[in-house]
């Protein structure tokens, strides 16, 4: 292995920026010492790539661009091809459910070590079936959590993970001074500011709680509100208070501006808790109850019990009452005091610790024959794939119906045309490009992104993958 290891940081799609932000933090912690490449199913990938940390987008199954029955093999081919291109020593996946395509890729690139960054605090009884995949990874890293004492989920009692301090961008991103940060957001630094960020997961529920928070905050004549939410258009902001409410979008990373805020109302996701509390911001957490795996209620309850935040719903505390309590001077002072008593290592430091473990693994890893769990998983995957191909989509859906699972929509390979702005009727343009943005990825046309500066041989390999999973037709 060269002195500078090559590490691929892969992320699942998720509902927000959490997985990407954690992997970016790990990458930034070690960017000066390793070649870092992101590989993500999230359309937000262009937001986090930098000059030193590049990456590739891979379409998830929900995009419908790749036949459902072959999507996992497509992922394996994409990830293995990228690993060979960058000479990956380590491939680390952040997500609560490692895709079968990720574990399939391990069979194609046996010289690379595979790591699962497995966040804890899962809901009780949820996602337990994913844990058998633990044996398929060479290392499992669990980021620390300020609410770990309240973990009752399926990972809580496992001893198969290396635990590191909490991972967050606060560790690696320099914060702007208050005055500069506030002015950059269009706010008055000489008046108190509340940050309102309810995340992207409270689908259909952001506007109502947001309106309550704004209304209650505006009862304090000097307070301003900075709103970060995709649902800002549905919030009813009083016309006479428009100068005190500032909606912001496209601000990443938000941690750069945290010194502008005197208080916050936030969802209780992992990243929010481990950015706001270490930044010393008194916060009211409103748990997102719609997350499938992340136990935000437990996280909010525990940090409230520890006295380092307050939580809506804790001991019957309502949202309106919670905001009013948060903005009291004695509450703000007490929360700041309790946060200041925490050890720094309890709040942050995991990005560097995780990178060090990945770097160490890159230096020490020696490929070994597949373990019995890996062999069994491989045989099972191959058998399932052959069965799907044998019985087709209709047969597969019949089996899924018997098992109580939703059907897959699979219309076969998508007909596409390369490099044609006017594809024939019934076909779609396929963008094969190294330059992407969020608007391009969120469009209907399929995108196959090439790693910027990739080699000619890699471009050839990627074209072969396209031919394998799309129906490429010639422009008429």
In DSSP terms, 153 is beta-bridged to none
The pLDDT, as a whole number, for residue 293 is 93
- Strand-pairing partners, residue 264, are 195, 283
* Sheet of 447-449, strand order: 447-449, 428-433, 415-418, 471-472
Statement: residue 219 has pLDDT above 70: yes
In the predicted model, is pLDDT for residue 231 greater than 50?
no
Same fold: 6-167+352-402 with 179-346: yes
pLDDT greater than 90 at residue 429:
yes
Q: How confident is the model at residue 15 (pLDDT cuts 50, 70, 90)?
A: low
Residue reference for tokens 């601000």? 251
Distance CA 40, CA 36 (A): 13
Q: Residue-wise over 11-40: b if at least 16 C-beta within 10 A, else e? A: bbbbbbbbbbbbbbbbbbbbbeebbbbbbb
Q: Which residues make Cβ contacts (< 8 Å) with residue 259, sequence separation at least 6? A: 175, 176, 177, 178, 181, 279
Average pLDDT over residues 46-53: 87
Q: Residue 425's pLDDT band (boundaries 50, 70, 90)? A: confident
Query: Per residue in 55-90, pLDDT tens?
Result: 999 999 889 899 888 899 999 999 999 999 999 999
- Tokens for 414, please give them: 């998508």
- Domain ranges for the chain: 6-167+352-402, 179-346
CATH topology of domain 179-346: Rossmann fold (3.40.50)
- Residue found under tokens 């891979």: 58
* pLDDT for residue 288 is more than 60: yes
pLDDT at 204: 42
Which ranges of 199-349 does DSSP label H, i.e. alpha helix?
207-217, 270-276, 296-305, 319-326, 329-340, 344-347
216 within 8 A of 328, measured Cβ to Cβ: no
Cβ-contact 294, 353 below 8 angstroms:
no
Q: Spell out the residues 6+ positions from residue 50 whose beta carbon is closer than 8 angstroms to its own.
A: none
| Strand ranges, E, within 135-241 | 139-143, 162-164, 193-197, 224-228
**Residues 264, 265, 270, CA angle at the centre, nearest 5°?**
95
Phi, psi of 79 (to 5 degrees): -70, -40
CA 134 vs CA 18, 139, 331: distances in Å: 21, 9, 43
Question: In angstroms, how far is CA 244 from the centroid of its own chain?
Answer: 31
> 391: Cβ–Cβ under 8 A, 6 or more apart, which residues?
398, 399
pLDDT of residue 282 exceeding 60: yes
Q: Report helix angle 350-364 to 18-30, nearest 10.
A: 70
DSSP letter string, 344-366:
HHHHS-HHHHHHHHHHHHHHH--
Give backbone dihedrals phi and psi of 348, rounded to 5 degrees, phi first. -155, 175
User: Distances from the Cα of 96 to the Cαs of 202, 286, 291, 443, in angstroms?
Assistant: 19, 22, 12, 27
Count of all residues that appear for the chain in the document: 476
Task: Supply the pLDDT for residue 235.
Answer: 56
pTM value > 0.85:
yes
The mean predicted confidence, pLDDT, of the chain is 90
3-class SS at 232? helix
Instruction: Give the span between the Cα atoms of 463 and 468, in whole angstroms.
Output: 9
- Tokens encoding 449: 């992104």
* Lookup: tokens for 374: 């890996």
Biggest CA-to-CA distance, the chain: 73
* Stretch 19-41: mean pLDDT: 96
Is 6-167+352-402 a CATH 3.40.50.2000 domain? yes
**Virtual torsion, Cα 396, 402, 403, 408, nearest 10 deg:** 40
Tokens 């309550």: give the residue: 212
Check residue 240 and report its DSSP letter. Answer: G
CA distance 214 to 470: 49
Sequential DSSP letters for 11-27: E---SSSHHHHHHHHHH
Q: Which of 127-131, 260-264, 367-371 has the highest mean pLDDT?
A: 260-264
DSSP 310-324: EETTGGG--HHHHHH
Rounded to the nearest 5 degrees, what angle is found at the Cα of 445, between the Cα atoms of 442 and 450? 80
Lowest-confidence region among 172-186, 353-367, 402-416, 443-457: 402-416
Contacts for 48 with CB less than 8 Å, ≥ 6 apart: 17, 20, 21, 24, 38, 55, 252
Contact 139/357 with Cβ under 8 angstroms?
A: yes
**Higher-confidence residue: 163 or 442?**
163
């Amino acid at each position: 292995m060269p002195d500078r290891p090559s590490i691929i940081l892969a992320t699942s799609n998720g509902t927000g920026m959490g997985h990407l932000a954690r992997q970016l933090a790990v990458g930034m912690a070690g960017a000066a010492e390793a070649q870092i490449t992101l590989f993500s199913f999230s359309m937000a990938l262009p937001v986090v790539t930098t000059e030193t940390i590049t990456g590739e987008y891979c379409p998830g199954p929900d995009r419908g661009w790749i036949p459902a029955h072959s999507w996992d093999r497509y992922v394996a081919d994409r990830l293995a091809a990228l690993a060979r291109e960058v000479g990956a020593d380590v491939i680390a996946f952040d997500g609560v459910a490692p895709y079968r395509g990720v574990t399939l890729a391990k069979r194609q690139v046996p010289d690379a070590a595979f790591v699962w960054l497995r966040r804890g605090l899962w809901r009780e009884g949820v996602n337990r079936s994913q844990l058998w995949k633990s044996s398929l990874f060479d290392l499992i890293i669990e980021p620390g959590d300020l609410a770990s004492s309240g973990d009752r989920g399926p990972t809580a009692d496992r001893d198969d993970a290396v635990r590191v301090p909490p991972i967050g961008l606060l560790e690696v991103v320099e914060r702007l001074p208050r005055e500069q940060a506030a002015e950059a957001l269009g706010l008055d630094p000489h008046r108190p500011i509340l940050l309102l960020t309810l995340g992207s997961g409270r689908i259909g529920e952001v506007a109502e709680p947001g309106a309550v928070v704004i209304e209650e905050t505006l009862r304090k004549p000097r307070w301003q509100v900075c709103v970060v939410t995709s649902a800002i258009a549905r919030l009813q902001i009083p016309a006479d208070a428009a100068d005190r409410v500032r909606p912001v979008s496209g601000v990443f990373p938000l941690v750069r501006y945290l010194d502008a805020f005197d208080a916050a109302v936030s969802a209780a996701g992992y990243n929010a808790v481990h950015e706001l509390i270490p930044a010393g911001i008194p916060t009211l957490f409103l748990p997102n109850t719609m997350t499938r795996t992340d136990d935000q209620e437990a996280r909010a309850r525990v940090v409230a019990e520890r006295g380092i935040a307050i939580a809506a719903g804790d001991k019957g505390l309502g949202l309106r009452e919670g905001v009013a309590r948060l903005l009291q001077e004695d509450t703000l002072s007490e929360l700041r005091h309790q946060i200041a008593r925490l050890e720094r290592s309890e709040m942050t430091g995991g990005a560097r610790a995780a990178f060090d473990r990945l770097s160490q693994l890159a230096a020490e890893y020696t490929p070994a024959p597949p373990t019995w769990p890996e062999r069994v998983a491989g045989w099972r995957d191959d058998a399932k794939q052959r069965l799907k191909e044998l019985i087709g989509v209709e047969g597969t859906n019949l089996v899924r119906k018997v098992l109580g699972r939703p059907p897959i929509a699979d219309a076969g390979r998508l007909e596409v045309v390369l490099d044609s702005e006017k594809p024939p009727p019934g076909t779609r343009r396929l963008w094969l490009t190294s330059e992407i943005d969020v608007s391009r990825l969120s469009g209907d046309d399929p995108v196959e992104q090439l790693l910027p500066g990739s080699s000619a041989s890699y471009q050839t390999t990627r074209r072969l993958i396209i031919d394998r999973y799309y129906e490429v037709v010639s422009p008429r």
